[in-house]
Amino acid sequence: MGIYLNPRNDNFKEFLNSEIFVDKTMILSVLNGIMKTSQKYICISRPRRFGKTYAANIISSYYSKGCDSRSLFERCKISKEASFESNLNKFNVIKLDINSEYRNIFEKKLLINKITRNIRDEFIEQFPEIKFYDDNSVAECILKVFDKTGEKFVILMDEYDVLVRENVEQDLFNQYLDFL
């Protein structure tokens, strides 16, 4: 479907096709268990090179409405869980790699505007029956969709700390905090 909104499962498919594949899909069992509780807001913070991107790709492929991942997960441990069917490809997913976005923009001060515009454009494409405006934030787009459809979102942010690591200017950092 989109790059940011309801992405496909290509990244997880690559992991599955690798010579070495370690099945960490049971993280989904834990997430499925808390999806409808007040504990549903989660930050997975791990050291660098510790599998956060891998986990984000698993989570995105499983929850995203932008793909049919049943055949990919059927050979994984999660497929044996009672909760497997309950949330498979049933949520709108927004997936961001902040490091990639930061590295791929020349004018760093425009980072948040660019991310917002790109995601908003995908909202316009995927929800043509809903009116979005040029000044709508991502949060406003999510709320509009929820208001009109009742559909919920899973939001995944990989490399969310890049602006701290890069010690960016305070104005950009403030924009980022507002975006978050």
pLDDT in tens, 62-112: 999 999 999 999 999 999 999 999 999 999 999 999 999 999 999 999 999
Per-residue burial over 117-151, b = 16 or more CB atoms within 10 Å of its CB, e = otherwise: ebbbebbeebbeeeebeeebebeebbebbeeeeee
Q: pTM of the full predicted structure?
A: 0.92
Question: Predicted confidence band at 50 (pLDDT cuts at 50, 70, 90)?
Answer: confident
What residue spans define the domains of the chain? 10-179
Q: Do the beta carbons of residue 146 and residue 152 sit within 8 Å?
A: yes
pLDDT in tens, 105-155: 999 999 999 999 999 999 999 999 999 999 999 999 999 999 999 999 999
